Amino acid sequence: MERTKRTFIYPLFERFWHWSQAALIVVLGLTGFEIHGSYRLFGFGNAVSIHNTAAILLLILVAFTIFWHFTTGQWKQYVPTTKNLGAVIRYYAVGIFKHEPHPVRRTRYAKLNPLQKLVYLGFKLMIFPVLATTGLLYMFSNQLGVPISPVAFLHALGAFVLLSFFIVHLYIVLTTGRTPLTYLKPMITGWEELEEDESAAPTPAPEPSAD
Amino acid sequence: MKSRNAPIFILIGIGCLLLGIGLLVGAQPAAAAAPAIVPSQGVAQGSTADHSQFEVLKGPFGTGPEVTAACLTCHTEAAQQIMRTTHWTWEQKVGEQLLGKNHVINNFCIALASNEPRCTSCHIGYGYKDATFDFTKETNVDCLVCHDTTGTYKKFPTGAGHPTYEAREFPVGSGKMWNPPDLALVAQNVGKTSRATCGACHFSGGGGDAVKHGDLDTSLTNPSRELDVHMGVDGLNFTCATCHTAVDHYIAGGRYVMQAKDTRGIDVPGRDDQSRASCESCHGLAPHTTDAKLNDHVERVACETCHIPAFARGDQPTKMWWDWSAAGRMNAEGKPFKVKNDEGYDIYDSQKGEFIWERNVVPEYVWFNGEIEYTVVGTQIDPTKRVVINALHGSAADDRSRIWPVKAFRARQPYDPKTNLLIVPNLFPNSPEDKEAYWRSFDWIAASRTGMETVNQPFSGEVAFVDSIMYWPQVHMVAPKEKALECEACHSPNGRLAALTDFYMPGRLQHEGLNTFGTLLVGIVLLGVFGHGTLRLISRKNGKKS
């Protein structure tokens, strides 16, 4: 057994952001696919109202979150790297079945492994902007004179991709820890048991590129 | 002392001023309330004349035209005004097509020519019994049918526009007696038109109450607000003329030239045409105050589409199907007969064929830009297809179009298989000598020969039957707003607009390729996740064993 240390990894805002974003995305997904026509749940009119409200709330949240990322320097967590990327992919494809340890140790200065960096960055720079832009075009299609068919197409396409991300995210978070709570709890309390890693912490300035 | 108290007085002064203003403002509504209008006794509301005081109206009158002559002594221009309207001419040039009751064919009683005395019981004149009718004679105008307020004046069903002048039974053998109206009494009690006077003809389109329109029948004579939010006697109590505004007896709003999309909004005196025969004339172009998204619909969806959730919502069912090819069967005694349904409506009549009646009918929906193309007398048809009697033009791609609710009336009617012309049959026996009329002869060939002769069309001597459809845009029986359609009535797979596939609408699960891709993607991800998880479980067990 390696030595672990209780580490404060997720500050309050980050947890607030994560969970409110999660809740809004779940609501948007449930109402969005109803608006698309996949099933009936709230009734079309209610679904539209809820979806639009949740969308505006998410945009506000994201505006604050972008501000937070830049003022705290946390945006650097998402700078992609190829270092160890192959190793992480190999781990999920092969190593995990052989009970090998995860090839990348997480620290409070590098919360994300290289694969996560890439996927989350993709979410932030590709999926979210597509959904937000098409969503706004959809919302104001009459005023802008935009044909809704292609807008709705791209919006729904983005939603399918996001749904796939959501499934994989849940799978990894809830099943690859020692217990389902291993990765869940830190996102609630902010504290996580991390392997001690003295070399990775050049105090005081956090530098994600340190490893 | 003086200077010390000054600020207090100023404050009290300002306080009194504010209080005074408050009282004035508060009192304003009561002061501005208009006094209730109480009509003077014996005079129709809004009139400055008591017609019972006019010598010329004392009578006695022998016929309708005599009354008209009396009316014209004061209302010198009225007959000429009437004569310029389609109520009189039954003729209207629309684009290249000459329309009007004189020229169109429908799929109810089919056509006017050779059947005049029956059909013209709804002409606004006296004596239109055949094509020789004098359209220029002023005393041929019937003032009373529109301006009667007694409810006792009725045109006799087969009287070519005249009331009966002696007690007569109609239908013959029914025991239902029609008594002659007291023309002097009616003349002395003329007034504005009412739902009853307009309805005397318009509620009975197609030959009987509720037959034709779907949104017009006698339940609108005294409707509830629930049936018609505008005309409801327990609500706004509008008459027809409240919206169908009239100038010089020309009445706004008609079926040959329809305004599918009113882009002017509320009618302003001096700017617009003063026609209130569109929803927007009063409600404007952004009528919804609680949900802005609803106003986004106005451009592409007619108000009626959501606000008329069903037609034939009143006391009467409307006719939905008429099969002329079934006419002519005789009973065991060799006599024509009728079959009635449980409610007493004819579902079979040897003279007319088979019918289907329906209530609370969900409309069909079409794109409509106001242009209508009619199949008229002489139009070549394609008998291999259902003949569209009045094709409503429009599409999603056409900005002038909106989605409209219609009563789609389907029928099977006679045509000439050699010439591919719809047949104008002589149905009604115009005279005792008229032996060819179908309702007497039950012989399609004879009836078709005389009918087609009357309209100067060729007839090969053969009669076949073809399916046809006619569209009736629904505009009346507007329900109160709480009864308007919910979003998902249309915004759902297989909703009310399922037949309109030429545009994208949220809620219909459109973009089939995307849905296939999305389902596959999510399916593969789920499979991957389960597969991955299962493999991990297996490997863990194996690990433990070893």
pLDDT digits (tens, 9 = 90+) for A70-85: 999 888 888 888 888 8
Contacts A43 to B, Cβ<8 Å = 486-488
* Alpha-carbon radius of gyration of chain B: 31
From chain B, the residues in CB contact with A96 under 8 A are: 536
Of A147, A163, A168, which is closest to B529 when you measure between CB atoms?
A: A168
**How sure is the predictor about B286, in pLDDT bands with cuts at 50, 70 and 90?**
very high
Does residue B31 have a pLDDT over 50? Answer: no
Question: Is pLDDT above 70 for B28?
Answer: no
Two tokens, residue B126: 């006296």
Residue of A117 and B162 predicted with greater confidence = B162
- Segment 99-158 of chain A within 8 Å of chain B by CB: 99, 141-142, 147-149, 152-153, 156-157
- Is A175 at the interface with chain B, CB within 8 A? yes
| Mean pLDDT, rounded, for B35-46 | 52
Question: Distance (Å, rounded) from C-alpha A15 to C-alpha A1?
Answer: 29
Percent of chain B's residues with pLDDT above 90: 82
Helix (H) or strand (E) holding B188: helix B183-188
Residue B46 has pLDDT above 90, yes or no: no
pTM for this structure? 0.88
Distance (Å, rounded) from C-alpha B127 to C-alpha B141?
10
Is B509 a residue whose pLDDT tops 70?
yes
Is some CB atom of chain B closer than 8 A to the CB atom of A168? yes
Say how many CB pairs under 8 Å bridge A and B.
90
Can you tell me the mean pLDDT for B238-243? Answer: 95
Task: Say if residue B42's pLDDT is above 70.
Answer: no
Under the banding of pLDDT at 50, 70 and 90, the label for residue B430 is confident
Can you tell me whether residue A127 is helix, strand or coil? helix
Interhelix angle A12-36/A181-189, rounded to 10 degrees, is 110
Comparison of pLDDT for B1 and A100, the residue scoring more? A100
Looking at A110-114, B76-80, B124-128, B410-414, which range is the least confident one?
A110-114
Instruction: Specify the pLDDT at position B59.
Output: 87
Q: What average pLDDT does this structure show over B294-300?
A: 94
Confidence of residue A101 (pLDDT cuts 50, 70, 90): confident
Joined tokens for residue A57: 């709330």
Q: What distance in Å separates residue B266's CA from the closest CA in chain A?
A: 21
- Each residue of B361-389: pLDDT tens digit? 999 999 999 999 999 999 999 999 999 99
Is residue B502 predicted with pLDDT exceeding 60? yes
The per-residue pLDDT for range A180-201, each reduced to its tens digit, is 888 899 899 988 888 765 544 4
**Per-position DSSP letters for A3-17, written without gaps between them:** -EEEEE-S-HHHHHH
- Size of chain A in residues: 211
Residue in A44, A152, A175 closest to B504 by CB: A152
Give me the pLDDT at residue A178, please: 84
Pick among A31, A42, A49, A142 to test the B interface (most B CBs inside 10 A): A142
Contact of B545 with chain A, judged by CB distance below 8 Å, is answered with no
Name the residue ranges covered by the structural domains of chain B: 59-97+117-191
Whether the CB of B487 is below 8 Å from some CB of chain A: the reply is yes
Residue written as tokens 């939603």?
A: A159
Q: Angle, nearest 10°, between helix axes A12-36 and A148-175?
A: 130
Which chain B residues touch A142 with a CB distance below 8 Å? 296, 299
Residue of B nearest to A155 (CA): B514
Give the torsion sign (CA, A108, A113, A118, A119): negative
> Are B525 and A157 an interchain contact pair (Cβ–Cβ within 8 Å)?
no
The alpha carbon of residue B366 is apart from the nearest alpha carbon of chain A, in Å, by 20
Q: What is the mean pLDDT of residues B140-169?
A: 95
Q: Does B487 sit within 8 Å of A48, measured CB to CB?
A: yes
Best residue of B285, B288, B293, B295 to probe chain A, by most A CBs closer than 10 Å = B293
- Whether residues A44 and B511 touch (CB distance < 8 A) is answered with no
Average of per-residue pLDDT across A124-130: 93
Beta-bridge mates of residue B92: B99
Token pair belonging to B57: 């109206």
Of B491, B526, B533, the CB nearest to A44: B491
Backbone angles phi, psi at B222, to 5 degrees: -135, 70
Does the beta carbon of B504 lie under 8 angstroms from any beta carbon of chain A? Answer: yes
Contacts of B514 in chain A (CB under 8 A): 153, 156-157, 160
Token pair 């299609």 in the structure block, residue: A141
How near does any CA of chain B get to the CA of A80, in Å? 24
> What is the pLDDT at residue A206?
44
Q: If you average pLDDT over residues B399-424, what whole number do you get?
A: 97
Q: Which residue of A has its CA nearest to B296?
A: A142
What is the spatial distance between Cα B528 and Cα B518, in angstroms, rounded to a whole number?
15
Task: Please give the full DSSP string across A162-188, using - where no structure is assigned.
Answer: HHHHHHHHHHHHHHSSSSTHHHHHHHH
Q: pLDDT at position B456, please?
A: 95
CATH class of A4-193: mainly alpha
Q: CA–CA separation, A61 vs A55, rounded Å?
A: 10
Q: Which candidate from A44, A156, A163 shows the least CB-CB separation from B511? A: A156
| Whether the predicted pLDDT of B276 surpasses 70 | yes
Cis peptide before A101 (omega within 30 of 0): no
Q: Searching chain B, which residue's CA lies closest to the CA of residue A40?
A: B492
The predicted structure's pLDDT at residue A146:
94
Interface probe for B, chosen from A160, A167, A169 (most Cβ of B below 10 Å), is A160
Contact B526 A167 (CB under 8 A): yes
Q: Is A201 on the interface with B (CB under 8 A)?
A: no
- Residue B544: is its pLDDT beyond 70? no
Instruction: Give A211 to chain B, closest Cα distance, Å.
Output: 29
Judging contacts by C-beta atoms under 8 Å, the chain A residues touching residue B531 are: none
Question: Contact B301/B214 with Cβ under 8 angstroms?
Answer: no
Comparing alpha-carbon positions, the chain B residue that sits nearest to A162 is B522
- pLDDT on residue B36: 53
User: Best of A41, A48, A162 to disrupt the B interface by mutation (most B CBs within 10 Å)?
Assistant: A48
CB contact under 8 A, B506 and A156: no
Among the ranges given (A122-131, B299-308, B348-357), the one the predictor scored with the smallest mean pLDDT? A122-131
Nearest CA in chain B to A96: B536
| CB proximity under 8 Å: A 3-62 to B | 34-38, 40, 43-45, 48
Average pLDDT value for residue range A105-109: 77
